[in-house]
A and B are shown apart, each in its own frame.
Chain A
Amino acid sequence: MTSRLVLMNAASLRLAVGRMAHEIAEHHSGSSRIILLGVQTGGIHLATRLSVELESLLSLPVPAGQIDVSLHRDDLSQRPAPTLHPTNLPGDLNGAIVILTDDVLFSGRTIRAALDAMNDYGRPEAVQLAVLIDRKGHRQLPIQPDYAARRLDTRPTQRVDVRWVEDGGDDCVYLEKP
């Protein structure tokens, strides 16, 4: 039997995204061109929501896109081939500040793959990482988030499940224990 604990409800998730947007806006109040890139598939809604918030905070276009990392994963020969998803870049990465977004940061391997995938498209001025949930202590690579709504102590066997209104249902974050 798996038990399920609510870590964030709809209201707290919305507040957390708003707070993260303010934090990003503080760091980038200059004239830099910011592009949000959601990692397929978990990060795409966070990118879209941050884009809306940041555009109103900065009065600048802050476009959101998606990047697929399937073909850059380091475990391709150890598992069934992952489903491919589209990559859509909303602008030229060269010289831009790219903020990668994902729902949960665990081993860091997905983000490593995303950094590699980005290389094929250009050389951003800087890349930052924004995640909703940072699962501390499980990193397998030297990758840390610049912005995290919540930092959590979890066991490797547990699962963090982030749900978005955009996919149907309510905004919610669950911690599932086996």
Chain B
Amino acid sequence: MIWNRRHLLDIESLSVEELLTVLDTARGFKAVGNRAIKTVPALRGKTVINLFVEPSTRTRISFEIAAQRLTADVVNFNADSSSLKKGETLRDTARNLEAMNADIIIIRHSAAGAPHFLARFLQCSVINAGDGAHEHPTQALLDVFTMREKKGRIEGLKVTIVGDILFSRVARSNIWALKKLGAKVTLCGPPTLVPRVFEQLGCRVCSDVHEALHDADVVNLLRIQHERQRPSMFPGVGEYRAQFGLDKARMAGLKPDVLIMHPGPINRGVEIDADTADGDRSVILEQVTNGLAVRMAVLYLVTGNDPGFVKN
């Protein structure tokens, strides 16, 4: 088992061994979630702060429950009612939280690199819960955990990510994790949202949805991020659904054992129809369950201590 980091900032800088350490540790924590008593004292006396400067329900609650199951004290920071609104800088906000003896700060921010920025001057651990369109490491870890659990391996797996790749931190983190672990990644979506530059990361870029989906072992559908979209780049909901939406008819052309995944929140009737989202190939809710185990693993690993820890 290899882990010598105080922070989890991105997937890009992790080694294969570190990725596997998180996934193996998460397997242990998943078992904890199935017990009658679901709490363990691993983070007893530690303070975890959810610093969510961008809205989120699923990820914040998931981190909150994960921290509570490890017996940490959790404080949720609400950006709307905070001093950030009064003009305080992110640096000052974070230093104040650390001055209250926070041990771990979980940050979500609309600016790419915000967690890396905090990690440069904070002594406590920093976990990236999504920074702009850059990375969302725990989402990728839970996606890969789910694929590995269901398919038994990642190496050689054909994974197709459909949707708004350009603005998606989930896609970027998934691409890094999947490529490191040996999967074959295909990206599919409107050419404006899936530029060919992603080929440089070792992915196949494909605008024909049939070609992208027919032999996929896993299909990961992304939500169209209207909040990050410019009108010139997105074809419109109706056209998107017709071209890329996953519905019953399209499902018929897929492998019978395909896994349908989605990081949520789902826009039913846009990227996926209700039958498919609730169908027997969908593992969307299992992803949510696995998210808890993965986040417990990350909290647990960054709390370990070793003089040999690298700074990030």
Residues of A within 8 A of B (CB): 68, 70-72, 76-81, 83-87, 116, 120-121
Contact = CB atoms under 8 A, between A and B. Distances in A.
B31 A76 contact: no
A84 B28 contact: yes
B37 interface: yes
B301 A72 contact: no
Contacts of A78: 305
A-B residue pairs, 5 tightest by C-beta:
A84-B28, A81-B304, A71-B40, A80-B304, A120-B37
Nearest to A76: B42
B41 A80 contact: no
Nearest to B43: A76
B306 interface: yes
A72 B71 CA distance: 11
A84 B25 CA distance: 6
B42 A86 contact: no
Given A116-B41, A120-B35, A85 B303 contact: no
A70 B3 CA distance: 15
Nearest to A78: B305
A84 B35 CA distance: 15
B28 A86 contact: yes
B92 interface: no
Contact of B28 (A68, A72, A120): A68
Contacts, number: 54
Contacts of A120: 35-37, 40
A76 B28 contact: no
Of A72, A79, A120, most buried by chain B (CB within 10 Å of CB) is A120
Contacts of A76: 42, 303-304
B42 A71 contact: yes
Residue with the highest number of chain A CB atoms closer than 10 Å, among B3, B4, B40: B40
B99 interface: no
A77 B25 contact: no
B270 to A, nearest CB: 39
Given A68-B28, A72-B41, A80-B304, 12 more contacts: A71-B40, A76-B42, A76-B303, A76-B304, A79-B304, A80-B306, A81-B301, A81-B304, A83-B1, A83-B24, A120-B37, A121-B37
Nearest to B306: A80
Interface in B28-59: 28-29, 31-32, 35-37, 40-42, 46
B300 interface: yes
B25 A81 contact: yes
Contacts of A79: 304-306
Nearest to B37: A120
A86 B32 CA distance: 9
A80 B4 contact: yes
A77 B31 contact: no
Contact of A86 (B31, B36, B41): B31
B64 to A, nearest CB: 19
